[in-house]
Structure 1
Amino acid sequence: MSALEPGVWGVLATPFTGPGLDVDTDSVARLARHYEEIGATGLTVLGVFGEAAKLASAERRAVLRSVCDATRLPLVVGITGTATAPVIEEARLAREVVGPDRLAGAMVQVNSANPGALAAHLRAVRAATGLGLVPQDYPLVTGVTITASALAQAVRDTPGVVAVKAESPPTPAAIATLVEEAPGVPVFGGLGGLGLLDELAAGASGAMTGFSVPEGLLACVRGWRDGGYPAARAAYLPYLPLVNFEAQARIGLAIRKEALRRLGLIAESGVRPPAAVMPGTLGEQLDAHLAATPKGT
């Protein structure tokens, strides 16, 4: 398995439609095509931002098929389970639908603070599926807190890890440790791009996150590649107010989906419970942020 290419791996939302909040595969495809058109390295599908934990197996299949039909970008597929058996089941579904040639990796949640237990879990998933693995360290979702050094040890002890997604604040410090202690394995930041500049300075290979204007993530990463911190900072500054606006607790998902709707990338902005909806009082400010955000790359 090859390590993931550096750059921006866009995390797709799962758009819903109608009063029943059915999966809107047309909007899924439109969003996937947009990422390809603006130059994303790859796509991350069925992640936390994609509300994968709220989807039935048939709906997950429908989302994956829509993305595969819409774009030729490589895919990382999120796995919602934490116990080994259900993780293997989800990963096999992804491999069946996407195919091994398109599936760049299965994003598996860190499920233990013990590096030996985590490595055993990852090795079991690898042995059962043959897939490259992207451990995702996201304690806000899993409730599992692991030190960066322990995670690096688990990565070193697991064949087939193609990247790490670091979302345990402070992410720049964690990324610096992972880059030093698990050399050769690319590390990507997340959390809506909130710490992207500092993550790149710490050695991140790019971003693997959702943001309603992913052109900003691309501009920042390209700026870093071409001109280091000054160029990346200058490229990212116009987008940072919107990045911050989308990072609001409880309603960040709803804000981002409403922004995608207002940008014409998805048809409706509904979120499935228990996610909170965006307060209508924020609509005018969202419009102001979007109007002030550069378009294009």
Structure 2
Amino acid sequence: MDAPGFAGIWPIVYAFFDGRDRLDHQALLRQVEACITAGADGLAALGLATEVTKLKDSERRQLMRWLIEAVRGRVPVAITVFGATEADQIDFACEAADAGVSWVILQPPPRRPLSEDELGSFFGKVIDACPVPAAIQNAPDYIGVGLSDQAIRRLKDRHPNFLLLKGEGSAVAIRRTIDELKGEVAVFNGRGGLELPDILRAGCAGMIPAPELVDIHVGIWRAAQNGDWEEADRLYATVLPLIVFVMQSIPHLVTYGKRAAARRLGLGEVHDRGPGDLPTPFGLSLLDRLTSGLPPLL
């Protein structure tokens, strides 16, 4: 099977909460409109930036439905699949396909320890049952478990519906993965847009960042597509300090990256759901400085 041709900037939405710790529908709608207005090539949800492990199963399904309803077919949608068992993930992937998603991104199950062979077998069973193209998220630095390039290659050889990869690594590391896969799997990266121009030089199909810099990320992508690497590098340099600041860790991202997005979206107060990091006065002062020159997203 050929890779499905998805490419570009696919922001993965944050899960905002209201003052009663419920999912904030209006905040999701505003993220969707901002991303589409900025020229995003697709949208995604329920990954690490969406705080998927803090959501109840019913909330994951609700947020997925809200996202698909809000997008209204204007761009394709990818959904991350979280679940403890193969049956759990297959059930969610099938529901996502029925709802209209274009592809799914499988996360490792939460049990530990989990050997590479066990993880490969788990992914393979879910991939074979997916009714839409399947990706895996390979993020050992963030999730604590992952597959080597050789194991990813074996997964592709054994499971033809493994057509995309959401990697989370440096440009140098992701290039090794791309070389191993020989163009048979479309490789996306994440990490909040870190190294975005070099990720594209390495051969990535695109990036799945959080939405606070979607307009800049789209500008970098378009410049690269036009061969204007000088402009891509220039745009990247304007936001690199903010990217470095928010990408210190996933808890740091959902504390400060989410607030950067809220400021640009005009969302007002951000309510945190534990467990996680809470903002500090010093951290917020840094965020003020790093976002002060950015225009509203809507």
- What's the CA shift string for 1:69-118, capped at 9, x where partnerless? 2112211111122532222232233234x23xxx111111256653x654
Distance 1:43 1:265, change over 3 A: farther
Are the counterparts in 2 of residues 43 and 75 from structure 1 also a CA contact under 8 Å? Answer: yes
Instruction: Using the TM superposition, give the Cα deviation of residue 64 of structure 1 relative to its aligned residue in structure 2, in angstroms.
Output: 1.6
Query: Separation in 1 of the partners of 2:196 and 2:207?
Result: 7
- What's the CA shift string for 1:92-148, capped at 9, x where partnerless? 33234x23xxx111111256653x654543332233331211111011343214222
Q: Name the structure 1 match of 2:197.
A: 197
- What's the CA shift string for 1:36-89, capped at 9, x where partnerless? 111111111111100121112221222122212211221111112253222223
TM-score, normalising length: structure 2: 0.88
Instruction: Using the TM superposition, give the Cα deviation of residue 224 of structure 1 relative to its aligned residue in structure 2, in angstroms.
Output: 1.3
Instruction: Using the TM superposition, give the Cα deviation of residue 31 of structure 1 relative to its aligned residue in structure 2, in angstroms.
Output: 0.6
Q: Name the structure 1 match of 2:102.
A: 104
- What's the CA shift string for 1:144-188, capped at 9, x where partnerless? 142223212312322112311111x4x223321222221232111
Letter in 1 for 2:57: S
Distance 1:4 1:208, change over 3 A: farther
Matches within 5 A, 1:145-294: 145-167=146-168, 169=169, 171-182=170-181, 183-249=183-249, 250-293=251-294
Query: Separation in 2 of the partners of 1:149 and 1:196?
Result: 24
Are the counterparts in 1 of residues 174 and 199 from structure 2 also a CA contact under 8 Å? Answer: yes
**Could you say what secondary structure the match of 2:135 adopts?**
strand
Q: Among the aligned pairs, what percent are the same residue?
A: 26
**Could you say what secondary structure the match of 1:134 adopts?**
strand
Q: Name the structure 2 match of 1:78.
A: 80
Letter in 1 for 2:267: I
Letter in 2 for 1:205: A
TM-score, normalising length: structure 1: 0.88
- What's the CA shift string for 1:8-49, capped at 9, x where partnerless? 01110011001x311001111111111111111111111110
Distance 1:42 1:242, change over 3 A: same
Q: Name the structure 2 match of 1:92.
A: 94
Q: Name the structure 2 match of 1:52.
A: 52
- What's the CA shift string for 1:220-279, capped at 9, x where partnerless? 111211125323211211111111121233422110111122223534422211111221
Query: Separation in 1 of the partners of 2:152 and 2:204?
Result: 16
Are the counterparts in 1 of residues 138 and 167 from structure 2 also a CA contact under 8 Å? Answer: yes
Are the counterparts in 1 of residues 43 and 78 from structure 2 also a CA contact under 8 Å? Answer: yes
Are the counterparts in 2 of residues 122 and 158 from structure 1 also a CA contact under 8 Å? Answer: no
Letter in 2 for 1:85: A
Distance 1:271 1:95, change over 3 A: farther
Q: Name the structure 2 match of 1:129.
A: 130
Distance 1:259 1:30, change over 3 A: same
Letter in 1 for 2:264: L
Letter in 2 for 1:179: I
Are the counterparts in 1 of residues 196 and 236 from structure 2 also a CA contact under 8 Å? Answer: no
Distance 1:268 1:131, change over 3 A: farther
Query: Separation in 1 of the partners of 2:55 and 2:108?
Result: 21
Are the counterparts in 2 of residues 192 and 210 from structure 1 also a CA contact under 8 Å? Answer: yes
Are the counterparts in 1 of residues 35 and 211 from structure 2 also a CA contact under 8 Å? Answer: no
Letter in 2 for 1:91: A
**Could you say what secondary structure the match of 1:36 adopts?**
helix
Query: Separation in 2 of the partners of 1:188 and 1:41?
Result: 13
Which stretch has the larger CA shift, 139-148 or 229-238? 139-148
Distance 1:4 1:108, change over 3 A: farther
Q: Could you list the runs of 5+ residues in structure 2 that have no partner in the other structure? A: none
Structure 1 residue 61 corresponds to structure 2 residue 61: yes
Query: Separation in 2 of the partners of 1:281 and 1:231?
Result: 33
Following TM superposition, the consecutive aligned residue runs of length 4 or more in structure 1 with deviations greater than 6 angstroms are none
Q: Could you list the runs of 5+ residues in structure 1 that have no partner in the other structure? A: none
Letter in 2 for 1:269: V
Query: Separation in 1 of the partners of 2:5 and 2:11?
Result: 13
